[in-house]
C-alpha cells in the first residue's frame, strides 16, 4: 500500500459510546467501512446507520487498508492484534495495512502495539481523542497522533472526518503520551479548583467573586473557566445539570491510572499525579463513576463538613 489507504476500506472495531458515532461520521463522508463489535446491539445500531457489519474482527480486517480500533483498554488492543484463541489481526490483515488505534491506552502498550505491527509488516498509528461522546457525534474530536510522518499524512484526511483538531505529537506512542500528560493536568487542576471553591465557601467568599478574580488572574485554567465545578459562573458547565457528564469520573480515574503508570515507568517524581489518581479512584468507587469529574467538589465539601 498504499498511497490510497485513506480511500480504501476501513475495518472499524469497537462500536461503543465513542466508536459508534465515529464510524457513522466516516460512512456519512462516503467511506467504505466494515465494522465489528462483539455486542450484538452495537452491530444492530451500526446497521441502522448504514454501516456494513460482519461477524468477526478477522472478517472485517481481511479486505481492509486501514484497521481502526476504538476499544476499552490496551489489553483489548494487544489481544486483538496478537489473537487470543485465533491468529490475531496482524496475521490476517493484508501486508502493509495501517493499524490506527484511537483507544486511550498506556504509552508503553501503544509502543508495543506499534512494534508488533511493524514486525508483522504493517504500519501503526496511535491517535487517542479528547472531546467525549458529544465530540464523537459532532465530528469535533481532537486527535493526538503518534506516527511516522508519512503515516500521519495518510491518516490525517480520515481523522479530519471525525475531528476538528489533528495534532501530530511525534513518533509511535507520542499521541498517548500527549493525552496522558494533558489529562493529568486536568485531573490535578480540577481538584485544585474544587478545593479552592470549598475553601472560599468556608471563608465567606461567593462563588462568583472567586470566579471573577481567579478567571482573570493566575488561577485561570480550563477546569475553572469551562468546566467550572460550581453552578452559576459558567452556565454550560456540568455543575449546572447536577454533574451529568461531560467527562465521567470513571474515565478520569482510568486516565489518571495511565498517568501513574507512565510516571512509574519513567521514574518521574509525580506526587500530584499519584494523589489525583487516588482521589479519582475513590470518587469513582464511591458513586462518581457516572458523574462528571467536576463532581469531585461535592466529595471535598462533604469530607470538609464540620
Ligand atoms: P465503550 O466501552 O463504550 O466501547 C468499547 C467497545 O469495544 C464496546 O462496544 C466493546 O464491545 C468493543 N470491543 C471490545 N473488544 C472488542 C474487539 N476485540 N473487537 C471489536 N470490538 C470490541 O468505550 P468508549 O466510551 O467508546 O471508549 C472507547 C475508548 O475511547 C476507551 O479507550 C476510552 O478510554 C476512550 N475515550 C472515551 C471517551 C468517552 O467520553 N467515552 C473520551 C475519550 C476517550
User: Helix %, strand %, coil % for the chain, to 5?
Assistant: 55, 15, 35
pLDDT in tens, 137-151: 999 999 999 999 999
- Give yes or no for a cis peptide into 29 (omega within 30° of 0): no
pLDDT in tens, 231-281: 999 999 999 999 999 999 999 999 999 999 999 999 999 999 999 999 999
Contact 141, 21 (CB under 8 A): no
Question: Where does the pLDDT of residue 305 fall: very low under 50, low under 70, confident under 90, or very high at 90 and above?
Answer: confident
C-alpha distances in angstroms, 40 versus 47, 73, 146, 177? Answer: 11, 20, 32, 33
How open is the CA angle 183-142-9, to the nearest 5 degrees? 125
How open is the CA angle 62-66-67, to the nearest 5 degrees? 70
Distance from the alpha carbon of residue 77 to the mean position of ligand 1, in angstroms: 10
C-alpha cell at 24: 457513522
* Residues that are catalytic: 179
Q: From atom 13 of ligand 1, which residue's Cα is the shortest distance away?
A: 14
Distance from the alpha carbon of residue 102 to the mean position of ligand 1, in angstroms: 9
Question: Where does the pLDDT of residue 102 fall: very low under 50, low under 70, confident under 90, or very high at 90 and above?
Answer: very high
Q: Which atom of ligand 1 is nearest to the CA of 76?
A: 15
Q: Which atom of ligand 1 is nearest to the CA of 103?
A: 32
Question: Where does the pLDDT of residue 190 fall: very low under 50, low under 70, confident under 90, or very high at 90 and above?
Answer: very high
Q: Ligand 1, from 19, 51, 77: best to mutate by most atoms within 8 Å of Cβ?
A: 19
Q: From atom 22 of ligand 1, which residue's Cα is the shortest distance away?
A: 14
> How much is the pLDDT for 3?
44
C-alpha cell at 77: 488492543
C-alpha distances in angstroms, 210 versus 151, 215, 216, 299? Answer: 47, 8, 10, 20
pLDDT in tens, 37-58: 999 999 999 999 999 999 999 9
Report the pocket of ligand 1 as residue ranges, CB < 6 Å. Answer: 13-19, 36-39, 42, 57, 70-72, 76, 80, 103-104, 129-130, 132-133, 251, 254
Q: Evaluate the CA torsion angle 27, 30, 35, 40 in order and state its sign.
A: positive
The interaxial angle of helices 249-266 and 174-202, nearest 10 deg, is: 120
Q: Ligand 1, from 10, 11, 16: best to mutate by most atoms within 8 Å of Cβ?
A: 16
Distance from the alpha carbon of residue 19 to the mean position of ligand 1, in angstroms: 7
The interaxial angle of helices 207-214 and 174-202, nearest 10 deg, is: 130
Q: Which atom of ligand 1 is nearest to the CA of 132?
A: 40
Amino acid at each position: 500500500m498504499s498511497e490510497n489507504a485513506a480511500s480504501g476500506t476501513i475495518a472499524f472495531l469497537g462500536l461503543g459510546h465513542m466508536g459508534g458515532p465515529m464510524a457513522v461520521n466516516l460512512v456519512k463522508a462516503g467511506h467504505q467501512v466494515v465494522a465489528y463489535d462483539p455486542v450484538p446491539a452495537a452491530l444492530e445500531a451500526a446497521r441502522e446507520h448504514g454501516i456494513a457489519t460482519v461477524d468477526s474482527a478477522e472478517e472485517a480486517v481481511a479486505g481492509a487498508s486501514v484497521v481502526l480500533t476504538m476499544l476499552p483498554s490496551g489489553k483489548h488492543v494487544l489481544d486483538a492484534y496478537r489473537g487470543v484463541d485465533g491468529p490475531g489481526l496482524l496475521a490476517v490483515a493484508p501486508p502493509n495495512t495501517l493499524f490506527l488505534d484511537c483507544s486511550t491506552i498506556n504509552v508503553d502498550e501503544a509502543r508495543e502495539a506499534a512494534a508488533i505491527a511493524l514486525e508483522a509488516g504493517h504500519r501503526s498509528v496511535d491517535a487517542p481523542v479528547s472531546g467525549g461522546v458529544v465530540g464523537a457525534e459532532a465530528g469535533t474530536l481532537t486527535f493526538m497522533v503518534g506516527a511516522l510522518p508519512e503515516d500521519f499524512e495518510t491518516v490525517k484526511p480520515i481523522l479530519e472526518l471525525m475531528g476538528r483538531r489533528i495534532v501530530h505529537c511525534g513518533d509511535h506512542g507520542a499521541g498517548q503520551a500527549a493525552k496522558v500528560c494533558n489529562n493529568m493536568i486536568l485531573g490535578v487542576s480540577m481538584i485544585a479548583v474544587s478545593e479552592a471553591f470549598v475553601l472560599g465557601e468556608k471563608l465567606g467568599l461567593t462563588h462568583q467573586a472567586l470566579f471573577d478574580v481567579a478567571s482573570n488572574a493566575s488561577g485561570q485554567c480550563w477546569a475553572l473557566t469551562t468546566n467550572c465545578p460550581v453552578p452559576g459562573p459558567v452556565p454550560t458547565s456540568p455543575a449546572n445539570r447536577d454533574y451529568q457528564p461531560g467527562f465521567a469520573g470513571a474515565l478520569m480515574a482510568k486516565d489518571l491510572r495511565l498517568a501513574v503508570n507512565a510516571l512509574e515507568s519513567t521514574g518521574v517524581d509525580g506526587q500530584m499525579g499519584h494523589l489525583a489518581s487516588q482521589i479519582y479512584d475513590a470518587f469513582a468507587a464511591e458513586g462518581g463513576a457516572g458523574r462528571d469529574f467536576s463532581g469531585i467538589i461535592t466529595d471535598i465539601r462533604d469530607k470538609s463538613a464540620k
